[in-house]
Chains A and B, each alone.
Chain A
Amino acid sequence: MSAIFTQWKNPLDAMIRAPGGKRIEDALRQADANLDQIRAPCLADVDLQLDEMERLSNESGAATDDEIKLDIYRRANDIHAVAGVFGLADMSAAAFCLCELMDRLRTQGGWSKPAIDVHLSSMRLLRHPSFEDRSGVVEGLRRLTDKVAPVGAAG
């Protein structure tokens, strides 16, 4: 099959440039205000997801059920997406580390409850802005993941 090339002028560009609308600075200020309104329910859900991941980890024991790994992976990914929007960048990064760990454990068919629990405890600490000694936590989690489930390890 030949490659068909089509040059397409996107109407969205002209729409955005049309007279009217609002200034970018006003739009961004309004967006911050809108996000403030949903901050509490979003962070409540983050806490709920943390509780749920701890339950999954505790109930799984030495299990290596892929469904549980996928469940933790997805919940951590949701926390990564939400926490960072509301100023919890370190917690978001820790959640990303947990995603990486779970992805590697899924790929390799492994399981490490201690490593998962360390990630969850770290996320609990980083959830609170009052926790000051946060430097190095995320880097420590990355090193832990590399040790427990190194890239390229046999499945």
Chain B
Amino acid sequence: MANLDPKAWINFEHARLLLLDDHQQGASILTQIIRAFGVANYIPCSTISEARQSVMEHELHLILINANLKEPGVYEFINWLRRFDQPPNCFAPVILLAGHTARSSVERARDSGANVIMAKPVSPTSVLERVIWAAREKRPYVKCATYAGPDRRFQDLGPPVGLPGRRYDDAHGAQDEPDADSRGAVGG
């Protein structure tokens, strides 16, 4: 329990989760873990079509997805979710649980728009750590032609030394001002 205080309290009573997993045992493991955390309201989906329907019908606070679905389209589903223009679901934290990832899919997984990519096999501690991390993270969401999801820059270290920043929120040398609805827009 490296990052968890065992005496701290967690309350998932009012949270609604979506689980997308077509592997019976994998889904069962996740279900047993989140039920132990106190999650009473979860929607199990075994197909992407079911998951899409649930996104359209329910307010979701966290989405757990098996990256190794037999059915193709898991990364496209996350991209669809991020471009689904109905908050809060388009901003719901997504934890992608990945076993072995084929070489052809590594970049797609990274660029899928998930908040966290978590390696299998999971443990209750590792799941809880990632869930709390995903709930607390404050990265803004980005939407542009080639990517939609949480900002992939984890640390704002500023532009390279001696160079002016190109983005309005770079640590140094801000050049552009925000001009979009919420936080800003930057030329792509």
Contacts and interface: CB of A to CB of B under 8 A. Distances in A.
A42 B9 contact: no
A77 interface: yes
Given A16-B135, A74-B68, A84-B120, A24 B1 contact: yes
Contact of B23 (A3, A11, A76, A81): A81
A31 B32 contact: yes
A99 B8 CA distance: 39
Interface in B122-137: 122-125, 128, 132, 134-137
Interface of A: 1-8, 10-13, 15-25, 27-28, 30-35, 37-38, 41-42, 45, 73-74, 76-78, 80-85, 89, 92, 96, 99-100, 103, 106-107
Interface in B163-188: 169, 178, 180-188
Interface of B: 1, 4-15, 23-26, 28-29, 32-33, 35-38, 61-62, 68, 70, 87-88, 91, 93, 97, 99-100, 102-104, 120-125, 128, 132, 134-138, 140-145, 151, 169, 178, 180-188
A25 B6 contact: yes
Given A6-B91, A6-B140, A107 B121 contact: no
Given A24-B10, A28-B128, A42-B28, A103 B100 contact: yes
A27 B1 CA distance: 12
A18 B12 CA distance: 9
B91 A31 contact: no
Contacts of B140: 5-8
A3 B186 contact: yes
A75 to B, nearest CB: 10
A37 to B, nearest CB: 7
Contact of A10 (B8, B93, B103, B145): B93
Contacts of B102: 73, 103, 106
Given A13-B136, A35-B33, A78-B26, A5 B141 contact: yes
Given A4-B181, A11-B61, A27 B10 contact: yes
B182 A2 contact: no
B13 A81 contact: no
A5 B185 contact: yes
A74 B102 CA distance: 11
Given A8-B87, A11-B88, A77-B99, A84 B1 contact: no
Given A18-B11, A24-B7, A84-B120, A4 B180 contact: yes
Contacts of B12: 15-16, 21
B91 A2 contact: no
Nearest to A82: B25
B142 A3 contact: yes
Given A3-B186, A6-B141, A12-B61, A80 B100 contact: yes
A34 B32 contact: yes
Contacts of A11: 61, 88
A116 to B, nearest CB: 15
A11 B10 CA distance: 14
